[in-house]
Chain A
Amino acid sequence: MEYHLETPLKEEDVEQLNAGDIVYISGIVLTARDEAHARILEMHEEGHELPFDLEGAAIYHCGPLMQKKEAEDGGEEWTVVAAGPTTSDRMSKMTPELLKHYNVRALIGKGGMNNVAESLKGKCIYLAYTGGCAALAAGSIKRVPKVHWFDLGMPEAVWELEVDEFGPLIVGIDTKANDLFTSIKEKARESFSKK
């Protein structure tokens, strides 16, 4: 099945999806990698409010390559050069804690994640985008409304990206804890052990 969704995402938007489905997303996605995840959790721990809204959010595991250009009004604006997904598994340890405190509805990345299916149950999905396809992804990013935490460096900052029909994304883990990556890996391990 193919779905076209808009952010902010609602619980019913993601609950209808099954592992293997194809999804296109429009609206705002927020990039967040290792350092941003760590800072979100740190700020929550200290009781601070985040400078961006994670309610119904789609988090994109991505460290984009951006360029500063002159805007039409004479000021400066950021444009996307290349923005493919990074390896999601690096965020596996921090994700269950993140989902405990915020209603993030979609995680977008590549390669799958370990031990997160339980924490995604009933509320959030994992979507796989083709790794390395940064030039392709840049084509569906229309605008860069904001950047947060630029002190973390270009790849680690949180970028708000306005996307139009961003995809195709494959549902890797659905809200029923079905995990495409884990089942493929288990089969591969069986075939390896037989040799």
Chain B
Amino acid sequence: MTGNITYDAVVEATFNIIKEAETILPEDVVKALETAKENESSDVARSQIEAILKNIEIAGNNTIPLCQDTGILIFYVEIGRELNIDFDIKGAILEATRTATQQVPLRPNAVDPITRSNSSDNTGEGLPDIKYDFVVGNQLKITVAPKGAGSENMSTLKMMNPTELGSIEDLIVETVLNAGGRPCPPVIVGVGIGGSFDKAARLAKSSLLRDVDDMNDDEKKILARINSLGIGPMGLGGDTTALAVHVGKSYCHTASLPVAINIQCWANRHASVILGGEE
């Protein structure tokens, strides 16, 4: 059964979440920024967070993108295993991406990696990046997370030695330190530990979808250490270098310890939609 899940319904729903993600920041991120503003002791730092909050308000009120770097689009698609999707779901997501590029609008960011020629519609071989998963039930959930390059470029992946377990925290903190003001702090730090070369990176990226405040004691400890560096909003000094550290874990080979760190700027954009679910 597919109920009302049709090609056209997926195009429309996907377009809507792209527009939502690009123009409205999730409430938990906005709250974390407001708290950070109150806690900042430096005037310059407060002025930076004030500008960010003002920007969020303008973008939301006028339905325009929060940032000119509307990113590349990362999709997470969860398909209920009771569903029988008999249409081209990837084609629907591509069509929504092209329409959104024209109508939201989005900056055309997708280029050939070698010739650097721009496709003008945010699609191209391998883009947008769509990850599929099968889940229990009869619903289709689509999440979009636009990812800008400023923060993405500051990310790290290291195949560590299993006996180096004690230096994982140093690697995380040093990655944020080396990035400095470049990834638009306050950042959200997504970490993937274990899995494989690529699985660690995927875990780091999907960890960014968690609620900002959803942190365990280990994550809070790393966050406190990052914030003690004093890099501050935009690297201009201050108490808030990061809003959150989120670690995802996976079993890995006994001889391996892959660790990936994916940096996300303050504009932690993402939105989801659920289709179907009725009897």
Residue ranges of A at the interface with B (Cβ–Cβ < 8 Å): 20, 35, 62-65, 67, 81-84, 86-87, 89, 110-112, 128, 130-136, 138-139, 153-155, 168, 170, 172, 180-181, 184-185, 187-189, 191-192, 195
Contact = CB atoms under 8 A, between A and B. Distances in A.
Contacts, number: 157
A95 B58 CA distance: 33
B192 interface: no
B235 A132 contact: no
Contact of B51 (A112, A133, A188): A133
A195 B174 CA distance: 12
Contacts of A135: 55, 58-59, 62, 64-66
B236 interface: yes
Contact of A65 (B65, B118, B183, B230): B65
Query: Which of A67, A112, A130, A138 is the most central at the interface, judged by chain B CB atoms within 10 Å of its CB?
Result: A130
A168 to B, nearest CB: 7
Contacts of B106: 65
10 closest cross-chain pairs (CB), A and B:
A131-B184, A111-B182, A153-B118, A135-B59, A82-B68, A188-B229, A130-B51, A133-B55, A111-B181, A134-B68
Given A20-B44, A110-B184, A130 B234 contact: yes
Nearest to B153: A87
B177 interface: yes
Given A63-B69, A86-B69, A153-B120, 19 more contacts: A67-B105, A82-B70, A83-B68, A84-B55, A84-B67, A84-B69, A87-B182, A87-B183, A110-B184, A130-B52, A130-B55, A131-B181, A131-B184, A168-B51, A180-B237, A181-B235, A184-B230, A184-B232, A185-B231
Nearest to A80: B68
Q: Which applies to chain B's interface (DSSP): helix, strand, loop or mixed?
A: loop
A81 B66 CA distance: 10
Contact of B229 (A111, A132, A155, A192): A192
A89 B182 contact: yes
Contacts of B150: 86-87, 110-111, 131
Interface stretch (B84-92, B107-115, B250-258): B107-115
A45 to B, nearest CB: 20
A188 B59 contact: no
B100 to A, nearest CB: 12
B31 interface: no
Given A67-B105, A87-B150, A62 B68 contact: yes
A65 B70 contact: yes
A185 B120 CA distance: 37
Interface in B206-243: 225, 228-237
Contacts of A191: 228-230
Nearest to A138: B64
Nearest to B117: A153
A185 B185 CA distance: 13
Contact of B66 (A62, A130, A134): A134
A62 B235 CA distance: 18
Nearest to A112: B181
A168 B67 CA distance: 17
